[in-house]
Every structure is written in structure tokens, then in C-alpha cells.
Amino acid sequence: MSEKKPTLPGNEFLPSIVVDGLDRVFAPFNGPNTIGNSPIFWIAFLLVALVALAYPAVTTPFRVLNTTGYVVWIFLALSLTLIWGYTGIFSFGQTAFFGLGGYTFGVVAKNLVQVTGATNLALLAAVVLPAVFAVVVGYFMFYGRVSGVYVAIITLAVTLILELLFGRTAGPQYTIGAAELGGFNGMTNIPSLAFGIEPVLVELDPVPMYYFVVGLLIAGYLALRYVVNSNYGYVLIAVRENEARTEMFGYDIRKIKLQAFAIGGAMAGLSGALFASWNNFISPPVMGIVTAALPVIWVTVGGRQTILGAIFGALGLQFLDSELAAAGSEFSVVALGVILLGVILYFSDGVVPAIASRIEDRIGSSPDESVVLEESDA
């Protein structure tokens, strides 16, 4: 008897050519370390991507602008997911790299936009400088064998120190070229994103900026899926689960943690640069303790060991906070606290993994699947 290929739950409803095509295209992004590996999931992913691309055509420019503001923060949540969720490094100071990226973008853009008219180098610098800063901070932590809660304390201290330093930069003496830091009043008139070089220049107005940020998010999501499901991703998870055992197998866990920390710093810096260019403004409170707690809450609620958890946690809680803030700031704070407490008590792994597990249980209990599995076993 010829051996039958096991069928994933729900795939029996799709033509085999569709299943094979989706498996072939998305195979590099599938693996046990991410939620959603079936063709049905990837069809839903493509539909959501199409809806996101069509969104500006069915809504107002104001909502497009607000949605872009929500999305730019998702990269900060993703950086924490990589560091904390997959590598086990609890960083409470991702906003340090976020703020450093935003200020770097503002300084470089305001000095070069008058020469080139574009912000290409500013965006690149806003990714590279936070990554280098993360390497410096991470080197002293990880090669000094600092771990656990002490990493959270050090990273929180770093972001609070940066907030204090940038807050004391008021006055004309704290000016870098054409960029005045502005102290606690913040840096104003930061240029929007523009690519190319004069006279060939593409300026990103609200709608093009939305498409650029959404495109980056889709690319970043796929890239993270590829990384965490690769051999390198397995090593990251091994470090998270048991550092001593991973080191016993010959891996330099200090180097691995430093690499993950640097990548997370670069992602947070990118988020800060996008925020500064979208808002045309940045100020020291983006590195304060209130803002530093937000990505931790987003990732905890969504599910820190899943990429989708960071995305939906950041997007959903920002939208909820914005809607409740219109009725009064105290309502949004109370709601956020209640949600966090409820998730910690009843959904220890996060909301997204709980929903995904429930869906898999429902599909897995279907009679059709039982028949398919029995035939494949035979």
C-alpha cells in the first residue's frame, strides 16, 4: 500500500495545487516556533495584507495617519519579542534605543536634508547607532555574566539616564549643526521620510508613508519568522530554556545574547526613526518609565513567545487606549491595568497563543481529520 502524506487540519478543503503552491512559497517561514504554518493561515495572511493595502482607499486621511502611528510602535514590540520572548533576555529599556533612533534620525535628517533633500542616510544612521549602543551596553552585561532581573534593572536605568540627559539639552549650546535638541520641549520640525536625491526625490506623504511602514512590517514579520525557525532560532530558544546546557554543547551564549540584543536595538531604533519622521517631533519622555512599560505590557498581553502576539498586542492595546483616552485618560489606564492583570491570571502565555490553541483544538477534533490521520497511520 502506498503511503499517504499526512494532511494538516483544514487543508482537505483546499485544492491540492493550492496547498502545494503555498507550502512551496512559504516553506522557509514555517516551523514549530511560530503560530500559523498551514496553507489556510497563509491564505488568511494574504487576505489581511490585501485589506491593509486597500485600507487608505476606504477611510479618511486622518485615520490613515493615526493607523501609521500605531504601526510604527509595533517594531518596538517586535524587538522585545525577539530579545525577551525568544532569547529570554528581559529588557525593560527598549525605549532607550527607540529614543536614540528618533533623535539620531532628527539630527542627521535636519543637517542633510538641506544638502541632499532626502533622509536615506538619516534612516540608516537611526538603525546603526542604536545597534552599536546596544552592543556596548550588552557587552558589559553579558560578558560580565549579568542575567535575570539585573538585566531589566540595568536597561531601565540606561533609558532613564538617557531621558535625563536629553532633558537637559535646552538652550542654543546644545545644537548639532542645524538640529537643536530642545531639552524637555523636544526636537521640532523633523523632516518626513524622503528617498532619493535631488532632483529625483520621492517624499512620503501620509498615504505613501502608510504603505512604506506596512510594507516594512510585512517584510519584518516574514524575516523574523525565518530567523526563529532557522537553526539560529533554535539556538536562541535553547539559550532561553537553559543557558548552562546550551553552553555545555559548545555555544558561546554571551555572543548569541549580544547578537540578539543588538538586533533588537536596531529594530527599536528603526521604530524610533519612523516615529520621529511620522510625528515630525520627538522628546525625552519617549524614553521615560511610562513609555518603557508599554512594550512590556503589549508583549505580555499578546504573547511574548510569538511574533503575532507582539503585533496584535501592540496594535490592539494602542487602539483601545486611544479610544478610551477620548473619554478620559483615567479610563484607559484602568482598562490597561485590568487587561494586564486578567491576562497574567488566566492566559499566562498570552491571548494570541490561547486563541490559536483553541482553534487548533476545534479543528483537530473534527471527524474528517481523524479519518485522514488514521489513513496516514495505516
Mean pLDDT is lowest, of 104-113, 228-237, 257-266, 331-340, for 331-340
At 2 the pLDDT is 41
At 326 the pLDDT is 74
Q: Per-residue pLDDT for 209 more than 70?
A: yes
At 117 the pLDDT is 81
Summarize pLDDT for 4-47 with one digit per residue, the tens.
444 445 565 567 776 777 888 899 999 999 998 888 899 999 99
Contact between 93 and 155 under an 8 Å Cβ cutoff? The reply is yes
Torsion sign over Cα 208, 316, 241, 364: negative
Q: Per-residue pLDDT for 162 more than 90?
A: yes
pLDDT band per the 50, 70, 90 thresholds, residue 378: very low
At 376 the pLDDT is 38
Q: Per-residue pLDDT for 80 more than 70?
A: yes
pLDDT band per the 50, 70, 90 thresholds, residue 375: very low
For range 99-119, the mean pLDDT: 92
Mean pLDDT of the chain: 89
Q: Per-residue pLDDT for 348 more than 90?
A: no
Roughly how many angstroms between the first and final C-alpha of the chain, as a whole number? 9
For range 66-94, the mean pLDDT: 96
Summarize pLDDT for 299-336 with one digit per residue, the tens.
999 999 999 999 999 999 999 988 887 776 667 778 88
